[in-house]
């Protein structure tokens, strides 16, 4: 038998051995845990975080557009961010490859919405909507190769306005064009054009040129690239890739190079026997003639360019189509050279244009398509709409006001307290009370979260937030039931402000803010709208 000492030695050796194994296991677990916590702190490609002054600009864009939509009688709706895959399938032509498909969940195949138009048509068919002016501001998703800073993203906002219902020819179309002008000019963008075409005219041109009906959509997608590629490149795609004859391509080329004012191009087409003999093209031409009366009434003719190269590849368009472009829409002339010099493969902003900043058109069969496919009674609800691309608008506006100071908060008033002495408490509860009174009156207000904040720190806080007014609680003045109202900014540095009765606080503050914000338009709105 082992002696007591021997047994103790053996126990000690076992204990040491076990203890020596623990750190190794703990170390392994720690490494495993550490590896689990290692992440790449970045947003996915084609997405970005928005904060501070950028969000102020974006919210101003939303406000300008939504206010405009309401002026035109729009009501807003919202739809799920993903739809059943079968709802989106086959609606976007060649761009269908850009739809984000999701994993099977609960027996349903879903996809992220590609735009707001198809979900709207599904909504209208589901709810038996006969007529509506609807607007929708929400995110959509494209499985695209993004050029981040120019608005080409995988996740981005669209602001849509659509008119559904049976109305006289081209009345709703003309209003959508007027909304396009009103929205773009309302955001301070003056140098732009609405490129306009008609799918019936374009499809008639394809028929005249010898394109078979089943090939029309793929030829449309090729022609639609003329804003980015020269005719030689597009012609090669039509003949080599799309299988059309040289004669067909040359005939298409004669027409799609035509552009000018509505009157100019309409006049040229009206004298073309082939166009007049084609029933589809003639129908589209007659609708353009009707449209011209209404665009003249809305005084928007100067913004419109009738461009036969515009095709818009989406399959659901049936009539008028249009897109809004600016000088920033096209890539720079030396794009190829800039691309070679670019060192960042994820950022193509130096050599890629913004693209169209708004687009839309008529789609008369989409709601009926959904109604019939679901077994509902066939309903022909014509629709026309316009969609504004927020990220692209933002990139243009941000470039224009890059040198301007945009404050990240909406703060208008900073509540301050000045005093001193051993009995000075800083009036923190009193400042809270005044701030609450201003909040209740709908006035954006802040105060420093410190009992005894010195004047310098309070003024620094006001400057940081961009506050326009200070409501000052002086130690003795407050006890007498008075406040001091002071305008803020370098130009008012020597102004001590105005002493007022506490009871007049809200009235005086609103008057002062009205003086500062001319016509009740704040500085951010003036900058965004270019006022």
Q: Which residues are annotated as a binding site for L-histidine?
A: 115-117, 142, 158, 162, 312, 316-317
**Separation between Cα atoms, residue 324 and residue 177, nearest integer Å:** 10
**Separation between Cα atoms, residue 155 and residue 172, nearest integer Å:** 30
Helical axes 199-209 vs 216-223, angle rounded to 10°: 110
Pick from 464, 451, 454: nearest CA to 414: 464
**Separation between Cα atoms, residue 310 and residue 319, nearest integer Å:** 12
Q: Where do the H-state alpha helices sit in 79-166? A: 85-88, 117-126
269: left (phi over 0), alpha (psi -120 to 50) or beta: alpha
User: Which residues are annotated as part of the binding site?
Assistant: 115-117, 142, 158, 162, 312, 316-317
Distances (CA, A) of 399 to 153, 352, 359, 360, 392: 18, 15, 22, 25, 11
**Separation between Cα atoms, residue 434 and residue 451, nearest integer Å:** 15
Pick from 297, 214, 295, 206: nearest CA to 256: 206
- Give the phi and the psi of residue 193 in degrees, each rounded to 5: -135, 145
Pick from 133, 278, 283, 307: nearest CA to 210: 278
Distances (CA, A) of 377 to 86, 125, 316, 370: 20, 10, 20, 10
Task: Give me 208's structure tokens.
Answer: 């005249």
Contact 159, 65 (CB under 8 A): yes
Look up residue 405 and give its DSSP letter: -
């Amino acid at each position: 038998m082992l002696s007591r000492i021997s047994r103790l030695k053996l126990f000690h050796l076992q204990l040491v051995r076990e203890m020596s194994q623990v750190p190794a296991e703990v170390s392994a677990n720690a490494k495993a845990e550490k590896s689990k916590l290692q992440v790449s702190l970045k947003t996915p490609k084609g997405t970005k975080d928005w904060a501070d002054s950028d969000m102020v600009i974006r919210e101003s864009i939303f406000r300008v557009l939504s206010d405009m939509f309401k002026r035109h009688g729009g009501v807003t709706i919202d739809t799920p961010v993903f739809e059943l895959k079968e709802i989106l399938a086959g609606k976007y032509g060649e761009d269908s490859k850009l739809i984000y498909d999701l994993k099977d969940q609960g027996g349903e195949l879903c996809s992220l919405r590609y735009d707001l138009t198809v979900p709207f048509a599904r909504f209208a068919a589901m709810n038996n909507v006969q007529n509506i002016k609807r607007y929708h501001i929400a995110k959509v998703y494209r499985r695209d190769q993004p050029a981040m800073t120019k608005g080409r993203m995988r996740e981005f906002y669209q602001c849509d306005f659509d008119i559904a219902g049976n109305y006289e020819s081209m009345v709703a179309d003309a209003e959508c064009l007027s909304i396009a002008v009103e929205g773009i000019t309302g955001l301070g963008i003056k140098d732009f054009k609405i490129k306009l075409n008609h799918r019936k005219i374009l499809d008639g041109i394809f028929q005249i040129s010898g394109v078979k009906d089943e090939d029309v959509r793929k030829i449309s997608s090729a022609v639609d690239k003329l804003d980015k590629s020269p005719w030689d490149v597009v012609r090669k795609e039509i003949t080599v890739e799309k299988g059309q004859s040289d004669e067909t391509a040359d005939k298409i080329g004669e027409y799609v190079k035509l552009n000018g004012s509505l009157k100019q191009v309409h006049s040229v087409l009206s004298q073309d026997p082939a166009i007049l003999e084609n029933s589809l093209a003639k129908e589209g031409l007659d609708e353009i003639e009707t449209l011209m009366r209404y665009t003249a009434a809305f005084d928007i003719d100067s913004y419109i360019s009738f461009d036969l190269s515009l095709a818009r590849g989406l399959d659901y368009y049936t009539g008028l189509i249009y897109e809004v472009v600016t000088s920033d829409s096209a890539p720079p002339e030396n794009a190829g050279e800039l691309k070679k010099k670019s060192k960042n493969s994820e950022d193509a902003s130096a050599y890629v244009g913004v693209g169209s900043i708004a687009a839309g058109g008529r789609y008369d069969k989409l709601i009926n398509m959904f109604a019939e496919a679901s077994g509902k009674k066939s309903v022909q609800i014509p629709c026309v709409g316009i969609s504004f691309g927020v990220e692209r608008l933002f990139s243009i506006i941000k470039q224009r006001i890059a040198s301007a100071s945009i404050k990240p908060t909406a703060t208008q008033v900073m509540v301050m307290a000045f005093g001193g002495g051993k009995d000075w408490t800083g009036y923190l509860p009193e400042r809270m009370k005044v701030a609450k009174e201003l909040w209740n009156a709908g006035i954006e207000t802040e105060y420093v979260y410190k009992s005894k904040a010195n004047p310098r720190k309070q003024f620094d806080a006001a400057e940081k937030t961009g506050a326009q007014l200070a409501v000052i609680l002086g130690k003795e003045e407050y006890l007498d039931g008075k406040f001091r109202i002071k305008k803020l900014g370098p130009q008012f540095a020597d102004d001590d402000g105005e002493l007022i009765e506490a009871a007049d606080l809200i009235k005086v503050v609103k008057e002062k803010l009205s003086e500062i914000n001319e016509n009740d338009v704040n500085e951010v709105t003036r900058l965004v709208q270019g006022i």
